[in-house]
């Protein structure tokens, strides 16, 4: 990395003075276009990244935009031992007029603060969070794809970088933001997915970290997720106390009842999804009854058998809204077949993505423009 092209920006509206180092080995237009033509999910990264340091003495300081590249850490960095880490996920969308927008970023900023509090990490002020996104999009805006259903996935994260092996909250922490052009999370696009019910493993427990977006929750989901894949399923569903529906490895769950009621599991150990909150709001706006309550796996089984429950869907930033066609367990299966099982999920998806891509009126004021 060279610093010959380092510039210091005048303080941003959030009061940060950004040091910007342009990537002299940035991808060419042709290389970038080839990636954007088929981005997949999580495979490619833009030319730059953002970081802000935090120390107990100095607070948040040294905000930088630099070339995307390896991070130097001491082998004793606390995150590598005790997993003091959190992250977020949101997207930048290109509208038909070329402008770039993001969706409810203050909700992500607030959730990152809640995750930070649980993981004994410092809280990043919301203005800094938003500013970091603006800075990255200012240098890497050309990486926001324009093909239908594509976006630039933004991944803010924070970790304990202090070189110390004692077990206590780190006194030195780093916040980073990287970005990755994204297409559909699931290979089949919006085709209904199959999910595997994990009865052997739990994702979270009472008083644990289930409601925080922290790497450990995902690390513990990898083995059950691999089990799901062995059974031909794309995601794993976890239960609470062995009987209550919780959520999938990387997305929330919503059940669709015959009368149009939507039910989502409630528990202190579920990640409060911004997609879920948004889609339930859109459903309420249409006059649907929406319930957030404890739901047992037996209620789903019996409801599906009687025709009371007609469908289910997964929702999250990466997955958007994806119908669930089948739940597979060790000793039973629930099938939601036929187009009617996916109808409501797909129509809510159309409305939600319509807002995100600027095709449908943003009546809740959820969008924030990033390139102006
Ligand atoms: N639950 C888990 C475990 C997740 O990883 C995600 C994705 O971020 C969600 C739910 C959905 O959250 P959101 O809609 O805010 O992306
Ligand atoms: C997201 O949807 O943003 C997530 O973090 C989930 C992960 C499966 C990519």
Asked whether residue 372 is domain-assigned, the answer is no
* Cα(198) to centroid(ligand 2), Å: 19
114 and 223 part of one domain: no
Give the number of the atom of ligand 2 that is nearest the alpha carbon of residue 249: 8
* Cα(137) to centroid(ligand 1), Å: 22
Structure tokens at 199: 């009865």
pTM: 0.96
What residues are in contact with ligand 2 under a 6 Å CB criterion?
89, 250, 316-318
pLDDT band at 6 (very low <50, low <70, confident <90, very high): confident
121 and 233 part of one domain: no
**Rounded average pLDDT over 34-39:** 96
200 and 156 part of one domain: no
Q: What percent of the chain has pLDDT over 90?
A: 92
Asked whether residue 369 is domain-assigned, the answer is no
Query: Would you state the pLDDT for residue 4?
Result: 62
Give the number of the atom of ligand 2 that is nearest the alpha carbon of residue 317: 2
pLDDT digits (tens, 9 = 90+) for 310-344: 999 999 999 999 999 999 999 999 999 988 889 99
Our measurement of the distance from residue 254's CA atom to the centroid of its chain's CA atoms, rounded to an integer in Å, reads 17
Q: Is the CB of residue 248 less than 8 Å from the CB of residue 318?
A: no
Which residue do the tokens 């060279």 mark?
2
> Is 300's pLDDT higher than 90?
yes
Structure tokens at 349: 């998806």
pLDDT band at 59 (very low <50, low <70, confident <90, very high): very high
Please choose, from the candidates 160, 325, 156, the residue with its C-alpha nearest in 3D space to the C-alpha of residue 235: 325
**Rounded average pLDDT over 21-25:** 97
Indicate which CATH number applies to the domain containing 257.
3.20.10.10
Query: Would you state the pLDDT for residue 253?
Result: 98
**Rounded average pLDDT over 19-37:** 97
245 and 145 part of one domain: no
Asked whether residue 361 is domain-assigned, the answer is no
Report the residue among 213, 272, 321, 322 best suited for mutation to probe ligand 1: largest number of ligand atoms under 8 A from its CB: 213
> Is 2's pLDDT higher than 60?
no
Q: Is the CB of 271 under 6 A from ligand 1?
A: yes
Q: Which of 182, 210, 229 is the last residue of a domain?
A: 182
Backbone conformation region of residue 34, classed left if phi is above 0, alpha if psi is from -120 to 50, else beta: alpha
Structural domain of 282: 193-356
Q: Is the CB of residue 190 less than 8 Å from the CB of residue 350?
A: no
**Rounded average pLDDT over 184-201:** 90
Helices 274-285 and 105-118 cross at an angle (nearest 10°) of 130
pLDDT digits (tens, 9 = 90+) for 236-280: 999 999 999 999 999 999 999 999 999 999 999 999 999 999 999
Give strand ranges (E) for 133-251.
151-160, 172-182, 193-198, 235-240, 244-248
Domain count, the chain: 2
Which residue do the tokens 């039910």 mark?
263
Return the bridge partners of 293, or none: 265
E strand or H helix that includes residue 49: strand 48-55
pLDDT band at 38 (very low <50, low <70, confident <90, very high): very high
List helix spans (H) across the chain: 29-37, 79-82, 105-118, 126-140, 215-219, 222-230, 274-285, 297-306, 339-356
Query: Would you state the pLDDT for residue 177?
Result: 98
Asked whether residue 100 is domain-assigned, the answer is yes
Mean pLDDT of the chain: 96
Q: At CA 111, angle to CA 105 and CA 114, rounded to 5?
A: 150
- Sequence-distant (≥ 6) Cβ neighbours of residue 166 within 8 angstroms: none
85 and 22 part of one domain: yes
Indicate which CATH number applies to the domain containing 123.
3.30.470.10
Q: Is the CB of residue 184 less than 8 Å from the CB of residue 149?
A: yes
> Is 1's pLDDT higher than 70?
no
Q: What residue owns the CA closest to ligand 2's atom 6?
A: 250
Q: Is the CB of residue 227 less than 8 Å from the CB of residue 285?
A: no
Q: Which of 162, 182, 202 is the last residue of a domain?
A: 182
* Cα(164) to centroid(ligand 2), Å: 30
Report the residue among 151, 250, 278 best suited for mutation to probe ligand 2: largest number of ligand atoms under 8 A from its CB: 250
Q: Is the CB of 89 under 6 A from ligand 1?
A: yes
């Amino acid at each position: 990395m060279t610093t010959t092209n380092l510039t210091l920006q005048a303080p941003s509206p959030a009061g940060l003075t950004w040091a910007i180092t342009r990537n002299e080995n940035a991808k060419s237009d042709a290389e970038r276009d080839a990636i954007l033509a088929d981005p997949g999910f999580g495979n490619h990264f833009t030319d730059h990244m953002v970081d802000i340091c935090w120390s107990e003495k100095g607070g948040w300081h040294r905000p930088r935009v630099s070339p995307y590249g390896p991070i130097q850490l001491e082998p004793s960095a606390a995150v590598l031992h005790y997993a003091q880490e959190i992250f977020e996920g949101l997207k930048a969308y290109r509208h038909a007029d070329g402008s770039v927008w993001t969706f409810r970023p203050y909700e992500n900023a607030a959730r990152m603060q809640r995750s930070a509090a649980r993981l004994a990490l410092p809280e990043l002020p919301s203005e800094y969070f938003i500013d970091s996104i603006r800075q990255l999009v200012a240098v890497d805006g050309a990486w926001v794809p324009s093909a239908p259903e594509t976006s630039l996935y933004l991944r803010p994260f924070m970790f304990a970088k202090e070189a110390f092996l004692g077990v206590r909250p780190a006194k030195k922490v780093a916040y980073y933001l990287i970005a990755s052009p994204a297409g559909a999370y699931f290979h089949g696009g919006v085709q209904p997915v199959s999910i595997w019910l994990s009865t052997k493993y739990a994702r979270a427990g009472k008083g644990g970290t289930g409601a925080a977006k922290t790497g450990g929750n995902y690390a513990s989901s990898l083995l059950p997720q691999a089990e799901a894949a062995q059974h031909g399923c794309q995601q794993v569903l976890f239960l609470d106390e062995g009987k209550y529906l919780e959520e999938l490895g990387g997305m929330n769950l919503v059940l669709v009842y015959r009368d149009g009621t939507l039910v989502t599991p409630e528990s202190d150990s579920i990640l409060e999804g911004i997609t879920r909150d948004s889609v339930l709001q859109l459903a309420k706006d249409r006059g649907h009854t929406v319930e957030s309550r404890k739901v047992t796996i037996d209620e789903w089984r019996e409801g599906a058998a009687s025709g009371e429950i007609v469908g289910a869907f997964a929702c999250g930033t990466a997955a958007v809204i994806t119908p669930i066609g089948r739940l597979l367990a060790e000793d039973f299966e629930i099938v939601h077949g036929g187009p009617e099982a996916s109808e409501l999920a797909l129509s809510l998806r159309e409305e939600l993505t319509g807002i995100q891509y600027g095709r449908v009126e943003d009546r809740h004021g959820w969008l924030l423009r990033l390139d102006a």
